Structure 1
Amino acid sequence: MFSSRKLLGTVSGIAVLAVLLANYAAPDPSGPHTTPSSAGTVTHTLLLDWLPNPDHSGIYVAQAENDFQKQGVNVKVQTPSGTADAAKMISTGQIDLAISYEPDTIMAAAQGMKVQAVAALIPNVLSSLIVTGKDRSVTDLKGMTIGNPGLATSLPTLNSVLAQNGMTESDVKNVSLSTGGVEPLLAGKVDAIFGYYSNVEGVQLAEQGDYTVLPFDKIGVPSFDELVLVANPDRLQSDSSYASFVRKTIAALKEGFASANADPDAAYDAIAPVAKGYDDTTLRNMVKATVPEYDNPRGFGSMDPKQWDSYAQWMHQNGLIDKPYKGRDAMTTEYLPD
């Protein structure tokens, strides 16, 4: 949630992070969103939310199993130069599709950006509060130092959780973390981390000792779709070839995510070559923790308009968006496979 993937809990130091980013081609803001391939067909860009990680296993399985080609589309997966790239570049038509999050999508759409979720890739909440020690609860946070990703959404969300448990911001010490949450927590520099992932940081920390992982929707934050696929709504309405591409890409992703869920080993094999900074055992455990979260009881990609309305209302009530906004206006299920 809230782009917490912009922080690498597995990598120490900004210099190492820069090296990792250098291995991935960021999209050119001045360039076209589609390019001709060597075969003369069009190659479309799918922009990730951050460096390849276990959340993206279904995408890379779709690539490995040629699911995009089977749908007749050429898709180039790219890594962003920053996590704010998705909404801006979708809105301006510089890229075709992007991975984002429900909260970020609502926030961008409420600000007037041309962005719309077209499929929920991970329909469950992964963002979590992780606290040192076993069987901890929110009430244990009083007097603790809490590390957060330093995003605009971090403190308002934490303050909402604290308020529901009879506390205020002054009851804790907040620290903005620049190099991820795992190492500061292990080193005792913070007592808890807020806004990190149960399937990534939670798995890493479980290998190191006793920590309590509390997903956001279990501590007073409404449920939301953690990972979504976003497109440009104006282009969807005005460009039939773009709309067809989006529909076919979602169909390909449906196959890739289903295969990843059914075979975690295949999911690991697909993501391992591109997921940097993790040891093999930890990455395999992360993948095993992630792929069950792909399951959507309403069907692949499905999103609940009422839930998006509810989450947008909560965002407004907690100061995350300036004015009331219908969350359902930031999503559509029109392009999902039958």
Structure 2
Amino acid sequence: MKKRCVMVLIGIIIISLTGCAQKKTENITVVLDWVPNTNHTGLYVAQELGYFEEEGLSVEIIQPSEGGSADLIAAGQGEFGISYQEQVTYARTAANPLPIKAIAAIIQHNTSGFASPVDRNIITPKDFEGKKYGGWGSPMEIATLKGLMESNNGDFNQLEMVDIGALDFFTAVESHVDFTWIYYGWDGVSAKLRNVPINFISLKDQDENLDYYTPVIIASEDYLAKNPEIARKFLNAVTKGYEYAMENPEAAADLLLIDNPEIERDLAVASQEYLAREYQGDASQWGIMNQSIWENYSQWMFDHGLLENKLDANEAFTNEYLPQ
């Protein structure tokens, strides 16, 4: 009898230990590119609906320091980050390259461009002449503005560039500058809600080489090599999050607001409805990237003197961790 009890007890212990092993979770830190917004909704949906938990992941989503997500991910300060094709291209072609890689495109096409109040009469890049542009002092801004103006017979020397730091679009154009660079899915949608008429010059409509991936999800090459299954589990959950956001934009916006109540609900819902059509766009699945997009934009950057070396596109991104 005692022997039987001992065997039963051992069996219970083994089952318990097996259960604990199966329930072991992997701690993951995701570093955003900026303050939380609807570009990130799929992450928060995956968090709130338990998609990460289903994959055995415990995920913390944090905002970046001034160094940005690429530096932190390369330094092992997070497992995954939110970045953009421009940053990844710079990182991989620098004199001291960062070994980061894009593993999913959050939005399939570039939704950014130059926006201005309609009373500034900025319809084409040539109209930048005699105007003030508000930006953050990036060489990319200079190259983009100069390239677009020259292709529209404009004189770049007649454009005044002003560093506006962290000022939002509406504050900046009210009293500081004539136009800024925005994501239409946020400031463009917000302008409609505020009944502020704007002119918007879409980058992808001006030059097909500027239809790049922004934002993207990144990880370090070392982490991916050592943890391929975790990367797949992470993207399984994130894919479900963005698919839910595409199918249920208003509900997804409310899930975003649970952790980010400072966002105005009307803006979150309207932005989500816009992005529901943009996340996957015309691609075969959410997150997938095309090599020609990486090659075209990096060549454009190199031709405009923005890169020290040409980019090896095959090393900059991969689709292998997306759901098959």
Asked if TM exceeds 0.5, the reply is yes
Match in the other structure for 1:67: 51
1:114-263 equivalences in 2 (<5 Å):
114-133=99-118, 136-194=123-181, 196-206=182-192, 207-220=194-207, 221-237=209-225, 239=226, 242-263=227-248
2:18 equivalent in structure 1: none
Is the Cα–Cα contact under 8 Å of residues 182 and 204 in structure 1 kept in the other structure? no
| Cα pair 1:182 1:205 within 8 Å, conserved | no
Q: In the alignment, what sits opposite 1:45?
A: 29
Deviation at 1:135, TM superposition (A): 8.0
Residue 110 (1) aligns with residue 96 (2):
no
Partner of 1:318: 304
1:286 maps to amino acid: S
Matched, 1:98 2:77: no
Partner of 1:85: 68
Unaligned runs of 5+ in 1: 1-38
Which residue type is aligned with residue 213 of structure 2?
D
Q: Secondary structure at the match of 2:106?
A: strand
Any conservation in 1 of the 2:254–2:265 contact (CA below 8 Å)? Answer: no
Output the CA distance in 1 between the equivalents of 2:47 and 2:222: 28
The answer as to whether partners of 2:106 and 2:279 remain within 8 angstroms in 1 is yes
- Maintained 8 Å contact 1:114/1:232: yes
The answer for the alignment partner of 1:265 in structure 2 is 250
Q: Distance in 2 between matches of 1:275 and 1:104?
A: 26
Gap runs ≥5 in structure 2 = 1-22
CA distances 1:98-131 after superposition (whole Å, capped 9, x unpaired)? 0110111111111211100011111211221112
| 1-structure distance, mates of 2:203, 2:261 | 27
Q: Give the 3-state SS of the residue equivalent to 2:27 in structure 1.
A: strand
CA contact (8 A) 2:116 2:122 kept: no
1:283 aligned partner: 268
> Can you list the C-alpha shifts for 1:174-197, whole angstroms capped at 9, x where unaligned?
111123242344414322112x11
Please list the CA deviations of residues 268-287 of structure 1 after superposition, one character each: whole Å capped at 9, or x if unmatched: 11112334654332232222
For the residues of structure 2 that align with 1:183 and 1:143, how far apart are their CA atoms? 20
Counterparts of 2:68 and 2:197, CA distance in 1: 36
Deviation at 1:48, TM superposition (A): 1.0
Give distance in 1, aligned partners of 2:46 and 2:74: 26
RMSD between aligned residues? 1.9
Q: Give, in angstroms, the shift of residue 151 of structure 1.
A: 2.5
8 Å contact kept, 1:181–1:193: no
Give runs of aligned pairs for residues 25-40 of structure 1, distance below 5 A. Answer: none
Separation of aligned partners in 2, 1:89 and 1:209: 38
Checking the alignment, whether the CA contact within 8 Å between 1:203 and 1:286 is kept in structure 2 is yes
